[in-house]
Amino acid sequence: MTARARRTPATTAGPPRFIVLTGLSGSGKSQAVRALEDLGYFCVDNLPTSLMPTFAELTLRAGGEIERAAIVVDVREKSFLSEFPKVFGRLKALPGLDPILIFMDATDEALVRRFSETRRPHPLAPGRSAIEGIRLERAKLRAIRKMADEIVDTTEMTVHELRRAFMSLSTEAGPGTGPVVTILSFGFKHGLPVDSDLVFDVRFLPNPHFVPGLRQRTGRDAAVKRYLAKVPETQEFIERVAALLRFLIPRYAREGKSYLTVAIGCTGGRHRSVAVAEALRRELRGLGDVRLRVKHRDIGQGTGR
């Protein structure tokens, strides 16, 4: 689900360089910050309003170490309401910063439900009901809401939908923002990997362990690869699993999954699983914005089957 209401979009190409995030308490700013961190933003939560220009100038002078930054400011800071419009104007005047203001919103009913679930008091009504604090905050933030470049209504959003809303702030999210996919070879005799999401068993393939001259080698060696390639089922299995992963990985990413471990197991974790894991990496190379890596957990576990 995208933002329910949107004002004039940012004029900068690609992802915004500097984001100021504000909005109603309980509207999802904490989850939004986590999404921005996953997008590579250097994030600071609850920054004093008066320090916003100082922090912005530091990001500009950081010698490229901070490519993108985001700050969260809201009514938790006492001077926010009185100082923010003037301070944000100073940010917009800084050459090269191009800040955008994102306002997080939700209906009163949704916010009351969230405060009820978390049992947190509203910051503007610690001794009163949540709805009183929400209404007071909404009235005080009305002018700041009108300043926003983007308004994100989180009323009906799940955590994953909120993440996707921030992922789609720009049509160019930048390199390396997709899920990290690890293709992990292992040996069943050494136990299942505890972090595996998907497990495939290649013990149906002939075992190079029993072939003279191959036992001391691994699935990285050309001789072992040639041996397995002679078996028609080897390539068929690789193609079928690769097709399944091409289908699954973008859908896992859409649901907000940041890490996916695909475990390939044989008996000892030295020959068949290693060769298949390496082949899958070649098959999946170039799959969207996925960060793909291969790890061989048991390749050094001796010459066991």
What string of pLDDT tens digits covers the 305 residues of the chain?
334 444 444 444 567 889 999 999 999 998 888 888 877 889 999 889 999 999 999 988 866 688 889 999 999 888 899 999 999 999 999 998 989 999 999 999 999 988 888 777 888 888 888 899 999 999 999 999 999 998 889 888 877 778 777 766 643 444 455 688 999 999 999 999 988 999 999 999 999 999 999 999 999 999 999 999 999 999 999 999 999 999 999 888 877 777 899 999 999 999 999 999 999 999 998 887 788 889 999 998 865 55
DSSP track, 133-170: HHHHHHHHTHHHHHH-SEEEE-TT--HHHHHHHHHTTS
DSSP track, 165-186: HHHTTSS---TT-S-EEEEEEE
Q: Quick one: tokens of 115?
A: 């405060």
- Amino acid identity of 293? R
What are the backbone angles phi and psi of residue 165, rounded to the nearest 5°?
Answer: -60, -40
Q: Name 129's Cβ contacts closer than 8 Å, sequence gap at least 6.
A: none
C-beta neighbour count of 105 within 10 angstroms: 22
Q: Does domain 5-167 have CATH number 3.60.15.10?
A: no
pTM of the model: 0.58
The residue extents of the domains of the chain are 5-167, 180-296
Q: Name 274's Cβ contacts closer than 8 Å, sequence gap at least 6.
A: 185, 218, 219, 220, 296, 299
Question: Nearest CA to 81 among 140, 151, 124?
Answer: 140
